[in-house]
Every structure is written in structure tokens, then in C-alpha cells.
Copies of this chain bind each other. A is one copy, B any other.
Amino acid sequence: MAGNSFGQVFKITSFGESHGAGIGVVIDGCPAGLELDMELLNTELQRRRPGQSAIVTQRKEDEAYALLSGVYQGKTTGMPLTIFIPNSDQRSKDYDHLESTFRPSHADMTYQAKYGHRDHRGGGRSSARETAARVAAGAVAKMILNKIGVVVKAGVTQVGPIQSSTDVKNIDWSQVEQNIVRCPDLKIAKEMETLIKATKKAGNTVGGRITCHVTGVPIGLGEPVFDKLHADLGKAMLSINAVKGFEYGSGFASIAMNGSEHNDIWTTLDGQATTLTNNSGGIQGGISNGMPIYFNVAFKPVATLMKDQATITDTGAPAVAQGKGRHDPCVVPRAVPIVEAMAALVLVDHYLRDKVARM
């Protein structure tokens, strides 16, 4: 009801605030007997970590975490698995001037109106710091996907007006971690990096796009009608801070197409049903068909600028939202592991849900 849980079988509950004790997640429904790959968990948290490069926020969180429950002798027990990441390097004082000020395009006004009061420090619960919980839970989901051969890869394919190809057939995902922008095209990554640095210098921010590609998905994941696989992927992505749009397969481009060019023709390859094209993005009728799944996610420019903006206070008085604190000039480099985490959570949940679909 209050919206802090996600998933039905592999169900996560996220908690914590930007400047509180820390960020945590309870996974209820993680199957017993999974060996925890702590290196993978560390890697994912490091990929999302602030302060990792010159183009992201300089808040320094070491992302040390504690396993509070659900593991015995390195394996999950089937009990709730809880990961807690204490906050460090908070500078709550940076936010004192914002206690009664509504920052433009932030959640300040809506939280105040809905709840009557709010923890304004660092955005409280509305801060993207919450996504650390998603990445931690997503890492556990990836451990399960690893067992069944599902690979989730995402990368930045647009920053401001600079685009790299979204043709997933031809993307070399191994390049993503080779540059600080996390664009799979190193040449374009360089251009993006230059743009982000210039934007930062100007105290401004810029939007971006992430493309995600999932291979090895078993046939049959997804439920008809409301919980179509792409509907759950879409909700997962749209729930990430700053996301404004989602498209999968042929996406918005399909609007201008005719059925005769858009339809994916069935054939067989090595005795397996396969399609000649993949405009369906690996999903038909809401259910995976064994072809790669791919989708794009649009991120708006970060709302916090390093320049002053006119605004109002919670009593309607004119005010200035000052350009202070430490923030990302562009969210997408750090959002790549978040997109992968949310995709992994959806896929594991539907993988488990599918186990009860047939006699």
C-alpha cells in the first residue's frame, strides 16, 4: 500500500533515508540454498557508488554493508535476507537552508503536502540514495540469474543530444565498464564525458538514456493481462528517480511502421522456434519468447543545479533555492547498475512466478 515493496515472490522492501542511519532492504522470498557471491554484491554497490569518478557526485560513501539476516554458512536459508548500508559522509547542514524551501522539480512540495512534514535533509526518502537498496537486492537477483544463464547488460546510449546506437545486436557491452560514462561506444563516450564536464562547470545538469539488453531469458516468463513482463519492467524503470519514459522492442518507432514490416516472422533454428526479426523485444503477449529482451529508459536532467533558482517556501513566500551540496550533473552513468538491478528483480520474480503456472 505505502509502496516500499516490489515483487511478488522475490519481494523486496526498501527502507531508509539519505541522512538517516542508512539504507536497507529486506528480501522476503529469496529461495533457500543460494550461495551468496559477495564479490558480485560489492561490485554492484561500487558501480552505483557516489564519488567513483569526476563526473558524478563527490559524496563519499564507502558502501560498506551488513548482512543482518537470512544467511547461514554463506547460503541463503529461505528466511528474509536483510542488507543494511549505513550512511556516512552526510553533510546535513548543507540542507538547513532548505528546511522550508521547495526546490524546483524535486519532491519537497509533494512530500510536505502529502505527509504534513518531511525529512528535508538530502531529500530524505526521495533521494536517489534509496537506489542503493535496489542495487543490493538486484545483486542477489543477479546471483539467481547467473545460475540459469540470464545476462542483464545496460549502458548509456544518450547524454543530452549525443547518442550512440541503440541497435542491441551490434552493441559491445564489454565496453561499458571501460569508460566513466558507461557508454558502450568509447568514441561517443568521450564526447559525452566532455559534455557532462562542461555542463557541470556551468552549474547545470543534462538528461540521458540507458539501453538495457537481456539474453538467455527462458521462454514463458511474464503473466498475461496486467502483469505482462514488459509492464512490470516498465514500472520497475519508471520507479527509478528521474525516469520519464520507457519503451521496449521497437518502442515509439513502431508507431510509424506497418504490420507487414513490424511483424516478427517465426522460423526454426536448430529445432528451436525463433524469429527473423525482434521488434517484439523478446516479449509477446506479455510473455518472454526466448529472444533477447531490450528496452530504453529516459532520464530527465537532475533537478539540483549549482546555481540559484527562484522558488517559494512552504508558506508560499518567494525564496531562492541555492545551488549547494554535492550532486550529479548527469544521472545516467551511476544509473546503469540501477537499471540492471531493477531488470534483474523483475526477471527473477517472474522466473519464480512461472514455476506455478502449470500442473
A residues lining the B interface (CB < 8 Å): 1-6, 8-9, 11, 13-17, 20-22, 24, 26, 28-29, 31-34, 66-70, 72-73, 75, 77-80, 82, 84, 102, 104-107, 109-111, 113-119, 124-126, 130, 144, 147, 158-161, 199, 204-209, 219-220, 222-228, 230-232, 234-236, 238-239, 244-252, 254-260, 262-268, 271, 273, 275, 279-281, 284-289, 298-305, 307, 309-312, 316, 352-359
Which residues on B sit within 8 Å (CB–CB) of A284? 105-107, 109-110
Bound together, the chains give a CA A120 to CA B271 distance in angstroms of 23
- Closest-CB distance, A331 to chain B (whole angstroms): 10
Which residues on B sit within 8 Å (CB–CB) of A119? 72, 77, 79
Which residues on B sit within 8 Å (CB–CB) of A225? 3-4, 14, 125, 130, 239
Question: Contacts A68-B22, A309-B265 known; A109 to B299 CB distance under 8 Å?
Answer: no
- Closest-CB distance, A252 to chain B (whole angstroms): 5
Please determine whether B262 and A207 come into contact, CB atoms closer than 8 angstroms: yes
Which residues on B sit within 8 Å (CB–CB) of A111? 224, 285, 287
Please determine whether B287 and A114 come into contact, CB atoms closer than 8 angstroms: yes
Which 9 pairs from chain A and chain B are nearest by CB? Answer: A107-B285, A3-B223, A3-B227, A245-B247, A205-B259, A110-B287, A32-B115, A235-B235, A15-B80
Residue in B117, B299, B312 whose CB lies within 8 Å of A268: B312
Bound together, the chains give a CA A14 to CA B68 distance in angstroms of 12
- Most chain-B CB neighbours within 10 Å: which of A8, A244, A257? A244
Please determine whether A280 and B105 come into contact, CB atoms closer than 8 angstroms: yes
Bound together, the chains give a CA A3 to CA B353 distance in angstroms of 10
12 examples of A-B residue contacts, CB within 8 angstroms: A1-B353, A2-B80, A4-B79, A5-B11, A24-B82, A32-B357, A110-B287, A111-B224, A125-B225, A239-B286, A244-B250, A255-B300
Bound together, the chains give a CA A115 to CA B287 distance in angstroms of 11
